[in-house]
Amino acid sequence: MQSINIFWFRRDLRLNDNVGLYHALDADLPVLPLFIFDTDILDDLQDTKDPRVEFIHQRLKILDQALSSHGSSILVKHGKPETVIKELMDEYNLKAVYTNHDYEPYARIRDQKIEKLLRANKVLFFTFKDQVIFEKDEIMNDQGEPYKVFTPYSRRWLSLLARKDLYDGIPVFNPSHFYQTSPLEMPSLPDIGFQPTGCVFPDNGLNQKLIKKYDSDRNFPFVRGTSRLGVHLRHGTISIRDAVKTARALNQTWLNELIWREFYMMVLYHHPFVVDHAFKPQYEKIPWRNAPEDFKKWCQGQTGYPIVDAGMRELNKSYFMHNRVRMITASFLTKHLLIDWRWGEAYFAQKLLDYELASNNGGWQWAAGTGTDAQPYFRIFNPYSQQQKFDPEYKYIRKWVPEFETDQYPEPIVEHKSARERAINTFKTALNQ
């Protein structure tokens, strides 16, 4: 039985500038590429037409084509990771598993179990930093604690980035060390219980013209002013080091967005309770209304507030929502309707192609006032002024709400001024208990 190592692809679906893959190929044994469609994750998805699963499946095909040029192929499995790894240890003389760090609570528990299983069978387990520039305890305050506010975190982040090697990428990998095999059969989407969605996926190119204008165009939902790279950063189909290098050269505002991404990942890593609870414990006292009918109208884009409805319909139709509109819709749900941020976060998690736990959680807690650097509870977006400022000619609204300004468009489900006053009084009373 031939001795091999495995490289386990997860949130790093690319060959170039992949830290863990580089180290696997730099070792002495042939490397078998592996991806596992994890049933512990897939079984929780509510719809068999999920664009994220389709995106991953599509990128695995692209990855397999690239591997074929090196005489190799990717082994794609469907099941529980522990079960898959056990089967591979029976099938191969497995010496080591290489992979890259994942910081989400489920992933950390999974990796602890896998490492325990491997080491019990005298198989080594190596993981590496790849999806971020800084991780875990690399950016701490003067007291040696993780930052709770973005601005000092970002200053520290930028000062440490002066070390150019952090974003220069890694050396070219050695392709001759891939396990040589004929193409391995890849399960189809139906094989793993899913169907095509028809979603049009954004490409993973770093659009330099767009990034140069990011700071001036990013707030207007009727123009293509954002990079749409969220799904690629989430699944590692682009290198964060390439992205940061481009941002440093072209646009500080876009670089700031990449720093926010890492800040929220750091918050989640050090405070995993934020998945289900407010970062600021006193905000657990808020008596949310949680009116199911209002929530349903928000989900469907039938609130009578055009900028909110346009955003929700864009999300439901395209699996995407413009960043500015995400803030507006989240503020409306949590402040105007006084519905728990966890309801909205879960809906976004179900729908967004670029869903990423840390950023989604951080964004929703910011909007609700419950998180780090949160929007103060008394600052409430006015949907009308937001529309006048960022969609003054109704281009975005008319695209997604064709019945706007007709008798078919619903009346507002709440009145702005009274809803604002209700939210302020509710928050103030709860927080002063």
Question: Can you spell out the DSSP letters for 155-223?
Answer: HHHHHHTTSGGGSS--PPP-GGGBPP-SPPPPPPTGGGT-------PPP----HHHHHTHHHHTT-TTS
- For residue 51, the one-letter residue type is P
Residues 6+ apart with CB under 8 A from 290: 338, 339, 340, 343
286 with 304, same domain: the answer is yes
Averaged over 293-317, what is the pLDDT? 98
pLDDT score recorded for residue 267: 97
**Is 177 among the domain residues?**
no
Distance in angstroms (rounded) separating the CA atoms of residues 88 and 1:
12
- pLDDT of 25 strictly over 90: yes
Last residue in a domain, options 243, 270, 297: 270
Mean pLDDT of 5-25: 97
Concerning whether 260 is annotated as a catalytic residue, the answer is: yes
Residue 370: inside a domain, yes or no?
Answer: yes
Question: Whole-angstrom Cα distance, residue 289 to residue 134?
Answer: 39
Same domain, 122 and 146: no
Give the CA dihedral 75, 81, 87, 89, nearest 10 degrees: 90
**Residues making up the chain, counted from first to last:** 433
Confidence of residue 13 (pLDDT cuts 50, 70, 90): very high
364 is catalytic: yes
Which strands form 75-79's sheet, in the order they lie side by side?
A: 75-79, 31-38, 3-9, 93-100, 124-128
- Model confidence at 42, pLDDT cuts 50, 70, 90, reads very high
The Cα–Cα gap between 284 and 233 comes to 32
Q: Which of 157, 254, 298, 341 is catalytic?
A: 341
What is the rounded distance in angstroms from the CA atom of residue 38 to the CA atom of residue 350?
17
Q: Is 323 a catalytic residue?
A: yes
**Residue where a domain stops, chosen among 80, 98, 129:** 129
Out of 260, 298, 366, 400, which one is annotated catalytic? 260
Active-site hit among 54, 257, 314, 345: 257
Q: In degrees, to the nearest 5, what angle opens at C-alpha 106 toward C-alphas 79 and 296?
A: 95
Q: Please say if 298 is a catalytic residue.
A: no
Residues 151 and 27 in one domain: no
In percent, the amount of the chain with pLDDT more than 90 equals 93
Is pLDDT of 59 > 70? yes
Examine the pLDDT at 185 and tell me if it is beyond 90.
yes
Q: What is the pLDDT of residues 199-255, one digit of tens each?
A: 999 999 999 999 999 999 999 999 999 999 999 999 999 999 999 999 999 999 999
Higher pLDDT, 379 or 235: 235
Same domain, 288 and 418: yes
7 shares its domain with 144: no
Nearest to 99 by CA among 78, 130, 55: 130
92, part of any domain: yes
Q: Does 382 qualify as catalytic in the annotation?
A: no
CATH code for the domain of 69 = 3.40.50.620
CATH code for the domain of 148: 1.25.40.80
**In terms of domains, do 94 and 124 share one?**
yes
Candidates 313, 416, 344, 426; CA nearest to 377 is: 426
Provide the H-helix boundaries in 80-167.
81-91, 105-120, 150-160
Instruction: Count each helix (H run) and each strand (E run) in the chain, helices first.
Output: 19, 5
Residues 123 and 140 in one domain: no
307: left (phi over 0), alpha (psi -120 to 50) or beta: alpha
The residues, any chain, with a CB within 8 Å of residue 122's CB and separated by 6 or more, are none
397 CB burial (10 A radius; 0-12, 13-18, 19+): buried
Asked whether residue 12 falls in the same domain as residue 141, the answer is: no
Q: Is the pLDDT of residue 169 over 90?
A: no
- Residue 188 included in any domain: no
Residue 175, domain member (yes or no): no
- Phi/psi of residue 142, nearest 5 degrees: -65, -20
| pLDDT for position 166 | 64
Residue 220 lies in a domain: yes
Residue 8 annotated in active site:
no
| 375, pLDDT greater than 90 | no
Which of residues 247, 270, 293 is at a domain's end?
270
Tokens 């890492």: give the residue: 262
Q: What is the mean pLDDT of the chain?
A: 96
Whole-number pLDDT of residue 164: 60
Assigned domain for 180 exists: no
Backbone angles phi, psi at 32, to 5 degrees: -95, 115
Instruction: Find the domain containing 426 and state its range.
Output: 281-431
pLDDT recorded at residue 250: 97
State how far the Cα of 19 lies from the Cα of 171, in Å rounded to an integer.
9
- 308 shares its domain with 381: yes
5 pairs with which residues across the strands?
A: 31, 96
Q: How many domains does the chain have?
A: 3
pLDDT grade for 37, boundaries at 50, 70 and 90: very high
Catalytic residue among 115, 135, 207, 288: 288
In this prediction, residues 341-347 reach a mean pLDDT of: 98
Which of 228, 222, 231, 234 lies closest to 210, judged by CA? Answer: 228
- What pLDDT band is residue 2 in, cutting at 50, 70 and 90? confident
Distance from C-alpha of 244 to C-alpha of 404, rounded to nearest angstrom:
41
What separation, in Å, do the N-terminal and C-terminal C-alpha atoms of the chain show?
A: 68
Tell me which of 8, 254, 298, 364 is the catalytic residue. 364
The answer to whether residues 89 and 153 belong to one domain is no
Confidence check: pLDDT of 165 > 70: no
Question: Which of 174, 207, 256, 323 is labelled catalytic?
Answer: 323
Residue 181 lies inside a defined structural domain of this protein = no
Predicted local confidence at residue 260, as pLDDT:
97
What pLDDT sits at residue 378?
86
With beta carbons less than 8 A apart as the criterion, state whether 33 and 66 touch: no
Do residues 232 and 341 share a domain? no
Q: Which residue has the tokens 């699996």?
A: 319
Report the pLDDT averaged over residues 354-377.
92
Instruction: Report the distance separating Cα 405 and Cα 396, nearest Å.
Output: 14
Which two tokens mark 107? 């992933």
**For the chain, what percent of residues have pLDDT higher than 70?**
99
pLDDT of 291 over the 80 cut = yes
The domain spanning residue 318 has which CATH number?
A: 1.10.579.10
Residues 106, 247 within the same domain: no
pLDDT in tens, 401-417: 999 999 999 999 999 99
